[in-house]
Structure 1
Amino acid sequence: MLHEPNTICYGVGVKYQKIIAICALTAAVAMPSLSGQSEPPPPRNAEEFDQLFHQVSNWGRWGKDDQLGSVNLVTTAKRKQAMTLVKTGESVSLAHNPMTERAEDNNNPFEHTMLRGNSMDRYAVSYHGYAHSHIDALCHILYKDQTYNGYPRAEVNTEKGCTKLGIDNLKNGVITRGVLVDIPRLKGVDFLEPGTPIYVEDLEAWEKKAGVRISSGDAVLIRTGRWARRAKVGPWAVGQNAAGLHASVAPWFKARGVALVGSDAAEDVTPSRVEGVALPIHTLFITAMGINLLDNQDLEALGAAAARLNRWEFMLTIAPVPVTGGTGFPLNALAVF
């Protein structure tokens, strides 16, 4: 494969647990931001991105053999704190129902086949992408042929699955404090327009409005209103044009000690505004910082419940099926108020 200058190559987990290398060159696009910035802050190119990668890296922080990454920040005390947030017992799913129809944002529809006189069934799904609610394992994205914690691709990513950092490392599940960051509600709109970047000042403005502060061990869920927009205008190519986090927020997330991050798309603003880097948030969060990402969560019901209760924090439970060496798994995360 020929690589263009300043092109970042990263590994993406795909169907049957195979890992493929994708090299993408994404130009920075001048679009208005929520914070009113006309020009994006660093990183703006591959060189600045590389510097930021090393700045926020957690490699070796929890030992050279670590496979949990930032989930290490979800301590026993953090789990106990999360449980104290349950007041009414109301439970809200974060999963979007499986999408069985091909669409601009769903190249791999969920397959449901009935068997044995319709008393049994078979499911099949290639869940990575922009349609299905899922969690990314830490072996899903690579940077310069290395996974989180510096493991070489050749030692980790095999045709039989990941020898390290697979989703089976979360077999015991994650119970922690979840915090919803509802940027459309902050701005008084139903949804953000595709391509809108979210910066640190937007996150802090939400904290002030909601009366919450994101802290160590939290799972942060970013609502952009993707599903609300889809319901109104129909599907679009989310992988090419989506509201989301700008790469400049990574040091803020590390300083706050965030354990997991999710959104109603794939976290990254697209186009990325970082020339030569297609998915900087995925690469910084998963590969540098060891943060599992929760992609394509349906945060509409959660946003409505949080607004009705005026409570933006809750107990979040995550329990993916522990496929040995899996690059992730479809997910039905639950928020309990």
Structure 2
Amino acid sequence: MTRSNSTSRWNQRPEDSNWGDFGPDDQLGRLNLLTPAKVLQGVQEVREGRVFCLSLPLDCPGGTALNPRRQPPRIEPTRRGDRANMTYPLSRDNPHLLDVICDDTAHLALQYSTQWDSLAHMGQWFDLMGEGVPEMAFYNGFRAGEDIVGPIDYRGGDECAAERPSGAYRLGIENMAATGVQGRGVMIDLKRHFGTTQIAVGYAELMEVMDAQQVVVEAGDMVCLRTGTDEALLEMAGVPDMARLRNSFAALDGRDEKLRDWIIESGAVALIADNAAVEMLPARPAASDRYASHPLHDLCLFRLGVYLGELWHLSELADWLHANGRNRFLLTAPPLRLPGAVGSPVTPVATV
């Protein structure tokens, strides 16, 4: 049975969450703050008409070292009968035709390279009804097994085959795509301030950088965090040096309470980084015996409806913004409008 509103889906919401604030059946989260006025603010940042591609090549980082579950993309021709439909002369079928056809298909993990996490990407166990019975839940109280379905249904303590095909029937990436995802981007250049030394960035460190770079984040902004990881991945040319990646670069400290408070109060729509997770992983040890392995994913995706962008190519833009005394720009970044997907590749464009 699918529940139709928050009144029936949940009786209590997680601490620090905004569930229900945008409506009982909301599937957009903080994207609701990306209003026409915020789009106009982004447009007002366009002064030169110069554009920057903020995506890595879709086959970057290369291999499976960053994530063994995500395979690099594989491109193959479609088939025309028993033949590959690539540089296929139609004269083979009709000698009067001059056309030569190329047509292909791609097999790829949707979060292999530059990507968006949807709000269905990560949930938590939570006592939705306040009856002492935790359930697998996602943003705004949508449930595993009902709204986000995997091949195995774990509800009720027994494992059984799901009754419907796998996918996000709620909170899928298509909801994000339908908004256009266009507004004002704000750059925070962690590499310029800290270099490539590994550092967990909490509230104090973030404020230090923002003050030094005169960065102001307002509600409805999309926040970009440049660490230099993108440059390193491109230098590695498809063979990631995991020792270097694990021991270098700044990343957000998802267990820093003051940083979490800042994210809650900032009204930011998205946190975007050129690294693989936005936050530092593995995270610092938690104080309790039950905890989120990805504390920032928990706060952003599960509690606040704040979107996470990972493995973006930010360095060229960050350098240009610094050279021109700026840190704001128009950001256009819709994901694939692929119903049911929990993440998506994205080819973001910054216009300055």
What are structure 2's unaligned runs of at least 5 residues?
1-12, 79-84, 88-101, 126-135, 150-164
2:114 to 119, 133, 136: 133
Gaps of 5+ in 1: 1-52
- Please state how far the C-alpha of 1:282 moved relative to its aligned partner: 1.1
Give the Cα separation in 1 of the matches to 2:139 and 2:246. Answer: 26
Q: 2:322 aligns with which of 307, 315, 327?
A: 307
Structure of higher CA gyration radius: 2
User: Do the aligned residues in 2 keep the contact of 1:183 with 1:202 (CA within 8 Å)?
Assistant: no
Question: Are the aligned partners of 2:269 and 2:306 in contact in 1 as well (CA < 8 Å)?
Answer: yes
The DSSP-based 3-state class of the residue aligned with 2:183 is strand
Q: CA RMSD of the aligned region, Å?
A: 2.1
| Pair 1:163–1:230, CA change in 2 (3 A) | closer
Shift of 1:112: 1.6
**Structure 2 partner of 1:109:** 72
Paired residue type of 1:318: A
Does residue 252 (structure 1) correspond to residue 262 (structure 2)? The answer is yes
Q: How far, CA to CA, are the matches of 1:200 and 1:295 in structure 2?
A: 20
In the other structure, the counterpart of 1:291 is 306
Tell me which residue corresponds to 1:81.
41
**In the alignment, which of 58, 67, 73 is matched to residue 18 of structure 2?**
58
Partner of 2:148: 157
For residue 338 of structure 2, the aligned residue among 323, 327, 335 is 323
> Retained in 2: the 8 A contact 1:137–1:166?
yes
If the length of structure 2 is used for normalisation, what is the TM-score? 0.74
Is residue 277 of structure 2 the alignment partner of residue 271 of structure 1? no
2:183 to 176, 179, 192: 176
Say yes or no: does 1:92 pair with 2:52. yes
Distance 1:292 1:263 in 2: 11
2:105 to 122, 126, 149: 122
Q: 2:52 & 2:148 partners in 1: Cα distance?
A: 35
Q: Structure 1 stretches (4+) deviating beyond 3 angstroms?
A: 229-234, 236-243, 274-277
Query: SS at 1:305's partner residue?
Result: helix
SS of match in other structure, 1:67 = coil
Q: Partners of 1:161 and 1:155 in 2: how far apart?
A: 10
User: Which stretch of structure 1 is more off in the superposition, 104-113 or 72-81?
Assistant: 104-113
- Asked whether the 8 Å contact 2:42–2:330 carries over to 1, the reply is yes
Task: Pick closer, same or farther for the CA change 1:240–1:139 going to 2, 3 Å.
Answer: farther
- CA pair 152-330 structure 1, distance change in 2 beyond 3 A: same
Question: What letter matches 1:257 in structure 2?
Answer: G
CA contact (8 A) 2:329 2:351 kept: yes
Aligned-pair identity in percent equals: 27
The structure-2 alpha-carbon separation of the partners of 1:148 and 1:169, relative to structure 1 and needing over 3 Å to count, comes to same
Aligned to 2:219: 216
* 1:250, distance to aligned residue in structure 2 (A): 1.9
Size of the alignment, in residue pairs? Answer: 279
> Deviations for 1:192-222, whole angstroms, at most 9, x for unmatched residues?
43xx211112221222222221010000011
Corresponding residue number in structure 2 for 1:203:
206
Instruction: Provide closer, same or farther for how the CA distance between residues 172 and 230 of structure 1 changes in structure 2, counting only shifts above 3 A.
Output: closer
Distance 2:109 2:235 in 1: 26
Look up the equivalent residue of 2:311 and give its one-letter code.
N
Partner of 2:228: 225
Taking structure 1 as the reference length, the TM-score comes to 0.77
Aligned mates of 1:153, 1:264 — CA distance in 2: 30
